[in-house]
Chains A and B, each alone.
Chain A
Amino acid sequence: MKKAFYLCFILLFLVACSPTIPKDAFVLSPTSLEDRQLQSRKFATLDRTVLLAAGAAVLQDMGYAIDESNASLGVLTASKQADATSGAQIAGAVLVALIGGGSMPIDKEQKIRICLVVNENLSDSESSIARITFQRIVWNTQGQISRVETLKEPELYQGFFEKLSKSAFLEAHQI
């Protein structure tokens, strides 16, 4: 009797199948100002097309393909597929297989997306602001998506702006 009730309850959950949106999905996070500073640099030029073109060149150097570009809004989006296998995960899967847990899916491929937006600097009429964001989708060996995330490691942003600064022959300043 109880079993039937529980089963019915679980199945009803499946039928209802409407996921709830996280409450903070459209709310600015408390760290959004710091995130913006991490993701942005100031360049002493008003020619934003030059910055975008330099950005495209840097992305090509790193093997990205441009998915979208709009010079009048200063938007450039690019992506690349890459390997996502990690030694630690393989070791874990081997260990699981050894103790008889069967084959465990491990991360195999990833798609990295990067978006560069160049805007006028509202607080200074002599410079422009470039802002980038990175995202990643990871697929495992069974072809399922195992992770979707925004990359927040400061060294990635630092590294990109160093390249952009060399490519545009302009110095990147913190905002």
Chain B
Amino acid sequence: MINRLLLPAIAVTLSMLVGCASQNSHVLAGGSQVELRSMQTRAFDTSNKELMLRTVIATLQDLGFIIDKADSDIGTVTATKLSGYQIRMTVTVRARGETQLLVRANAMYNLKAIEDPQPYQDFFNSLSKAIFLTAHDVD
């Protein structure tokens, strides 16, 4: 009785595992998801890119991240948090017109990209507290 159920059960779950993902499928995974991009992006009413980058760095430090890379010309900061788990994230800052800056963050939790809006919302909340500006949603 047990064997009769056990074998199909194992077969089904194994076939699901096979369908999960091949190694190469991760190379170009994701991409052009409008929804993801909008949850990862906020606009701020300032044109001071360097101050924004410094504030991003300070916020990341407040959240327990260590800065892996920072580039003031391109406007990118990459940082890692280790706290029993690993989060690696990149934040980019670029101009949007004359008066606004677009800040985009993308993060990996251990081996998986974070695609849930809440962590990004939390990050931008922390960032707007630090820079004393409101984070606007962008389309």
- A residues sitting closer than 8 Å to B (CB atoms) are 1, 3-5, 7-8, 11-12, 14-15, 17-19, 21-23, 25-29, 32, 35-36, 39, 67-68, 70, 72-75, 77, 113-115, 117, 119, 131, 133, 135-137, 147-150
Contacts and interface: CB of A to CB of B under 8 A. Distances in A.
B72 A7 contact: no
Contacts of B118: 23
A131 B71 CA distance: 19
Contacts of A131: 58, 61
A73 B109 contact: no
B74 to A, nearest CB: 11
A119 B58 CA distance: 9
Contact of A26 (B13, B110, B122): B122
B82 A135 contact: yes
Interface string B53-76: 110011001111111111110000
B2 interface: yes
B66 A26 contact: no
B2 A3 contact: yes
Contact of A11 (B2, B13, B71, B123): B13
19 contacts: A1-B5, A4-B6, A7-B9, A15-B20, A18-B112, A19-B110, A21-B109, A28-B62, A28-B129, A68-B70, A73-B53, A77-B67, A113-B80, A115-B66, A117-B61, A133-B66, A135-B66, A135-B82, A137-B82
Contact of A133 (B61, B71, B86, B122): B61
A149 B82 contact: yes
B3 to A, nearest CB: 9
Interface residues of B, number: 50
B4 to A, nearest CB: 9
In the A-B complex, the 9 residue pairs with the smallest Cβ-Cβ separation, listed nearest first, are A26-B122, A148-B82, A11-B13, A4-B5, A115-B66, A8-B9, A26-B123, A70-B70, A72-B72
Interface centre among A7, A73, A119 (most CB of B within 10 A): A73
A73 B54 contact: yes
Interface in B9-51: 9-10, 12-13, 16-17, 20, 50
A150 B82 contact: yes
B87 A27 contact: no
B12 to A, nearest CB: 8
Given A68-B68, A70-B71, A15 B16 contact: yes
B19 to A, nearest CB: 9
Interface centre among B10, B67, B123 (most CB of A within 10 A): B67
A28 B86 contact: no
B83 A149 contact: yes
